[in-house]
Amino acid sequence: MTKANNVIMNEEEIIHKIRKFNRSYVRSIGLLEKKLLNSDYSLTESQILYLVNDQKKTTATEINKILKLDEGYLSRIIKKLISKSLLTKEQSFSDKRIFEIRLTEKGLKEQQKLDTLSSDSIRSIIAHLNKSDQSELANLFNRIMTLLYKK
């Protein structure tokens, strides 16, 4: 794996570099997402479809542990996606407060379509790099994930 060089930076410099990255990267990803979701689904809707697909069976509360939306707002979005026949909602037998949410066939197709669009948009931002640089990039992202989130 990528080996760290051991030049210790001061905290200010570290934070500055991260923030600089955030400004460029988060902005460019944001613009890409906006463009590519144009215009069938909102970003939030597509995130919900992604999560439901990822978890196969889920609930509003589960989704909201990740997305942290307003509960009423989430409830309405789910309702909307059900009305478009992308999701189903079924009351749990063992706990009737809970409603299990799943993708329909149509929902799965739509989510796969969104997935492809999202992959395409990433492809476009790495297209100018050769294979070796692209692989390095993936390793860099991966290493950041490890540092930030695996503990």
65, 106, 109, 143: residue in contact with a second copy (rule CB under 8 A): 143
Report, in Å, the least distance between residue 52 CB and a second copy: 14
56, 70, 83, 151: residue in contact with DNA (rule CB under 7 A): 70
Closest CB to a second copy among residues 38, 94: 38
Helix locations, 56-104, DSSP H = 60-67, 71-83
**Cα-based distances in Å from 86 to 37, 41, 76, 97:** 16, 12, 14, 22
145 binds a second copy (CB under 8 A): yes
Which residue in 53, 58, 22 sits closest to 118, CA to CA? 53
Query: For residue 102, what are the β-bridge partners?
Result: 88
Query: Given the rule CB under 7 A, which residues bind DNA?
Result: 34, 42-44, 59-62, 69-76, 78-79, 89, 94-99
